[in-house]
Structure 1
């Protein structure tokens, strides 16, 4: 007996390895009985295409506060048109009830907000070099007009109309009011932040840089230079007026209630408004890490008697308070809700405030769902489904090895380079959660590199065939084994599949889609896909399809 077991080890292991390679292949192929010998195999492998419908869902009034990062700038998507992103944010004192000493005089006021960067090498002096291309959209050489104002609109934390509920702010980029002002919505009210602009603290032409930030302290031989990651860094003390602004607004209120607690300060100094604008119809957009510990406004001042002056710093940071993105959209594509019954020929995935797709497995045909269940589950002599007494799961007569949602792009080759970092994120729109396949794919999770994270479930863009493959194996098996609900699946474009927070949609209680992954808001790009139907003249092989590959034991 022992010899027999040993003799079987190799072919069994070889079979498992072969199956794993098949599961990872571009398309499954039929595995005959070569491994065990013709006539000795007790299973067969097959495949089928399950019916689906896929249709468009227009997105607007999206939650734009509580994002983990923020877009700033102008981006002209070749497929969809223009988006301008601005930021309104509170700032928080790092210390309360400060003492600024005797005769304080402001030396400089420096704003610093890191980009999302990564080390790509080391220069000849042994210093790290960086890239910010993963968080830069558009022409890297272009400039935007950037104006930084004091914001006079109070960003409250709680909704007065709902006890203990946070106050959420929603996008209004497609308002049609104008293409110059930045708006947000709260319940039934519209906020125009341009109506609440205070003093202007910076007015500049700006383009981001991947250079490290160098800071030198001291002079001559005593000088010490430090380097930090690339950041948006600028002076807010360029003129006598701006320098005096910080003196009267912060330094001169020492001992006043406004600096005694954070709530008082938020009401007194309501934050900053970063307004971005295109320059001659061009510009770029970049992602800023406001949540970084290094994101702050540093007020450097000197204090003390004339012959014994010392230098000190008082900082305001961007963590803890409210912060939101606003969008102005000037699209050349009109987004509309699609056909949930037949599906759409063309699907539009557009970030910021645009469009998503909904995939309905089995469509609206109850017979298709019933046929799937009957085809895969075992029944007893009475025709009732059999359950495993130990696990409570249904017993299957066919085992799903892999289910692939195959999605082809419908974009021109001229724009292909723009999509090399695109990922398609799939989620359960009923419960606003990840799919079971995401949770099962932790082996490929890569927190520091979203482009190469969760690559088995969500796949990666195939640049040659211009297609995506979303694996739904666990999702379908849960339907078969555990009778899980067949929920509709949402598809959005994402450049960070690790970011799982949701963004609510205003007044969406009676809609299928009540929230979207927040990461979709932070991608200004878009892509076009073929739906479950294709236009006349398009190869039918380009249509979206759900391919299922299964093992079927013999003598079921």
Structure 2
């Protein structure tokens, strides 16, 4: 910082920077990232901290389908005192277990159809979720409603995705296949208890909902071709729309959100049927029933079965949009709000200080850059499960507004990560999240070698994450901070 030391100190006095501390020269340079320098060359090591302010933004939509390894399904309605109302439901297909035909269509012993010995019993939807994999009032009672889709879903791949604002109106039949009362803790009909959950804390609970018998008969009557080819199956049975009815008394209903595991094989559609064995008379007439064998066939929900989430939000006035004067940064999953942080002005202030000035005998190096955000614990609401997210992610956005890896490319086309880790863990002691910026990125960004793009705060896997975080922003003491650690050394 040959020509900039006085300028930086002057800026700190005028309010842009505040000098935090002067490190002792006894500090091992290796511990601050400059281990290639002789200790004798280090003149001093300083730290400068600047206030930064972000702003809240809202996406038009987010990708919410299962073309993602972390995909899950969220269901429910939650009225958050700070954020407002979020409603979540989902659409799913089913697929075939394998190419082998089920026994009610094909008799493996004879190689022929043998349907007259088999009869449908029931069709049951399995939905799996884990202990405390819910948010809000765990005992709030919702009415789950399940419908059959009226049209086939388009193919979803890396180029054709499903989004959180998908319009479902007119795309399912009006007939209810099932309607069940459900709470996150108690499941259907309050069948879950403390003791049962105690034995399941490391395993999923499988909630089972019996669907309409007419649909069971429809699937039981599928043809050989429809039960041997997944595409033919999806032509015959488009899938399910799973939602919740709106609360009868919204003013007095808080509600909850539940996260269902969809990609691990626990969630599926099971057709139960039976094989009947009867006595045969001398003239081969069937008579008395002598044996009933219960059987089942599974239609799995997996990568071969498309599913996606739908989300709607109604925000309160607590959320201040598009202003760095907002008192709080509001970060929410499920296509909810995120926060934009622009560090370009602060980073470029270091341009002259970090340039290679051949006329100076001194040089400056960056030993560490911390970006710190402090949590407003008002988000903890009595009697509700609203835990602070264990991690917070920082990203850039692509041209479509989707979160992407934060970093840049230098003049040699080398990709440089903006941060050492793309996420920061919540530190309870300091009540904060701290992102560690990559020193190489900071120096190259400051000198113009890497374009400085805005950063965005998200929850990890935000398309399926029902958590939210409130961070202080325009606050006298707990505002976000950019802390730059640097050393001055002789060339």
Structure 2 length as normaliser, TM-score? Answer: 0.72
Whether 1:473 aligns to 2:449 is no
Task: Note if contact 1:104-1:251 (Cα within 8 Å) is conserved in structure 2.
Answer: no
Matches within 5 A, 1:360-379: 360-363=342-345, 369-379=347-357
The structural deviation recorded for 1:373 is 2.1
Report Cα offsets for 1:508-540 as digits up to 9, x if no partner: xxxxxxxxxxx1232334333333xx2xxx42x
Question: What secondary structure sits across from 1:460 in the alignment?
Answer: strand
Aligned to 2:335: 353
Q: 1:345 to 1:245 in 2, by over 3 A?
A: closer
Unaligned runs of 5+ in 1: 1-26, 118-131, 159-163, 173-183, 185-190, 212-225, 384-395, 442-453, 498-518
The answer on 1:234 being equivalent to 2:208 is yes
CA distance in 1, matches of 2:273, 2:333: 43
More strand by percentage: 2
The structural deviation recorded for 1:491 is: 0.8
Aligned to 2:388: 420
SS of 2:350 mapped into structure 1: helix
2:30 maps to 1:30: no
CA deviations 1:419-473 (Å, max 9, x no partner) are 43353210122582145668744xxxxxxxxxxxx7xx513143x6543222213
Q: Is the Cα contact below 8 Å between 2:139 and 2:185 reproduced in 1?
A: no
Contact 2:92 2:240 in 1 (8 A): yes
CA distance in 2 between partners of 1:166 and 1:328 (Å): 24
The CA distance in 2 between the partners of 1:344 and 1:328, in whole Å, is: 23
**1:243: which partner in 2?**
213
Q: CA deviation at 1:271?
A: 0.5
Choose which of 275, 279, 285 in structure 2 pairs with 1:303.
275
2:379–2:470 CA contact under 8 A, matched in 1: no
Does structure 2 retain, via aligned residues, the 8 Å contact 1:99–1:254? no
Query: Is the alpha carbon distance of 1:485 and 1:52 closer, same or farther for their aligned partners in structure 2, counting shifts above 3 Å?
Result: farther
Deviation, structure 1 residue 235 = 3.6
Matched, 1:114 2:83: no
Return closer, same or farther for 1:412/1:373 CA change in 2, 3 Å cut-off: same
The aligned residue for residue 143 of structure 1 is 141
User: How much does 1:357 deviate?
Assistant: 1.3
Evaluate the alpha carbon distance shift between residue 335 and residue 155 of structure 1 in structure 2; reply closer, same or farther with a 3 A threshold.
farther
| Partner in structure 1 of residue 46 of structure 2 | 46
**Equivalences for 1:385-424 in 2 at 5 Å?**
397-410=363-376, 412=378, 415=381, 418-424=386-392
**2:104 equivalent to 1:84:** no
CA distance in 1, matches of 2:147, 2:177: 6
Q: Deviations over 1:106-141 (max 9, x none)?
A: 3443322221x3xxxxxxxxxxxxxx22x2101112
Select between 475-484 and 148-157 the one with higher mean Cα deviation.
475-484
State which of 164, 170, 179 in structure 2 corresponds to 1:171: 164
- 1:329 maps to what in 2? 313
Could you tell me which residue of structure 1 aligns to residue 487 of structure 2? Answer: 551
CA distance in 1, matches of 2:202, 2:343: 49
The separation in 2 between residues aligned to 1:299 and 1:246, in whole angstroms, is: 7
Task: Give the aligned length.
Answer: 406
SS of match in other structure, 2:64: coil
Residues 439/35 of structure 1: CA separation in 2 closer, same or farther (3 Å cut): closer
Label 1:461 to 1:228 Cα distance change in 2 as closer, same or farther (>3 A).
closer
**Cα distance in 1, alignment partners of residues 183 and 358 from structure 2:** 70
* Distance in 2 of aligned mates of 1:524 and 1:231: 19
SS at match of 1:105: strand
**Alignment of 1:254 onto 2:205:** no
Gaps of 5+ in 2: 1-18, 29-38, 105-113, 188-199, 279-289, 408-415
Hey, what does 1:94 align to over in structure 2?
97
1:206 alignment counterpart: 182
Shift of 1:165: 6.8
Alpha-carbon distance change, 439 to 313 in structure 1, aligned in 2, over 3 angstroms: farther
- RMSD (CA atoms): 3.5
**Partners of 1:157 and 1:166 within 8 A in 2:** no
Change (3 A) 1:478 1:69: farther
1:265-304 to 2 correspondences below 5 Å? 265-279=233-247, 280=249, 281-304=253-276
Match of 1:72 among 71, 75, 91: 75
Does the 8 Å CA contact 1:404/1:472 hold for their aligned counterparts?
yes
What is residue 542 of structure 1 aligned with on the other side? 478
Specify which of 506, 525, 528 is matched with residue 470 of structure 2: 528
Match of 1:484 in 2: 450
Scaled by the length of structure 1, the TM-score of the pair is 0.64
Structure 1 stretch 345-354 or stretch 293-302: which is displaced more? 345-354
1:306-360 deviations in whole A, cap 9, x for unaligned? 2354333211111112211112323223867515xx6755432222232211111
Indicate how the Cα distance of structure 1 residues 483 and 227 shifts in structure 2: closer, same or farther if over 3 A, else same.
closer
Instruction: State how far apart, in whole Å, the 2-side matches of 1:404 and 1:228 are.
Output: 36
Larger deviation: 138-147 or 409-418?
409-418
* Residues 228-283 of structure 1: CA deviation (Å, up to 9, x unaligned): 9333421415xxxx234312x1122333x433311111121010111113544232
Q: 1:459 to 1:209 in 2, by over 3 A?
A: closer
* Aligned partners of 2:49 and 2:483 also within 8 Å: yes
Separation in structure 2 between the aligned mates of residue 301 and residue 42 of structure 1, nearest angstrom: 79
Check conservation: 1:86, 1:274, Cα contact below 8 A: yes
